[in-house]
Amino acid sequence: MNLLIINGPNLNLLGVREPGIYGNKGFEDYLQELRSVYQDVTIEYLQSNHEGEIVDAIHRYGFGEADGIVLNAGAYTHTSLAIPDAISAVRTPVVEVHISNVFRREEFRHHSFLSPVCVGSIVGFGLESYRLAIESFRIRK
Ligand code: DQA
């Protein structure tokens, strides 16, 4: 199984950024752990601070290049129309992920433009939200 993890804006600063909310671990370290746990899964990774690059990646992987996409669109979750349009346009299923429990935070984080076009959403389990998303693809298979 081939999966693509996409991290959106500011998620390059995991481990540094607001550790009380997002934890102390950088994503590259966590990714290594994921790859060693799921040796039967090819996990590709892309981080971008730019909405259009995220759209491009969904197009690139969305027609068979990946069996699934795990997407943490960061703040674009709450603002973007182009990203959900891209998800609707492709065939590859997308699971929405958030590290923090967005529903316990500011009200503007309670609405996601992505949730209606994703297979499901995993929210609030720290970095393990990504692992749960991978598990969801293994269950679907
Ligand atoms: C986030 C939640 C978003 O509201 C926020 O803008 C982020 C990270 C999360 O993973 O908890 O950048 O997607």
pLDDT 10s digits, 74-130: 999 999 999 999 999 999 999 999 999 999 999 999 999 999 999 999 999 999 999
CB under 8 Å to 116, separation ≥6 — which residues? 84
Which atom of ligand 1 approaches the CA of 78 most closely?
4
Between CA 8 and CA 38 the distance in angstroms is 23
Residue nearest to atom 2 of ligand 1 (CA): 74
| Ligand 1 pocket member 109 (CB < 6 A) | yes
Which atom of ligand 1 approaches the CA of 11 most closely?
12
At which residue do the structure tokens 């990504």 appear?
Answer: 130
pLDDT 10s digits, 11-41: 999 999 999 999 999 999 999 999 999 999 9
Between CA 17 and CA 45 the distance in angstroms is 19
SS3 content of the chain, % helix, strand, coil (to 5): 45, 20, 35
pTM summary value: 0.97
Fold of 2-140: Rossmann fold (3.40.50)
Probe ligand 1: pick from 14, 80, 96, 100, max atoms within 8 Å of CB? Answer: 100
Between CA 127 and CA 43 the distance in angstroms is 15
Between CA 55 and CA 125 the distance in angstroms is 26
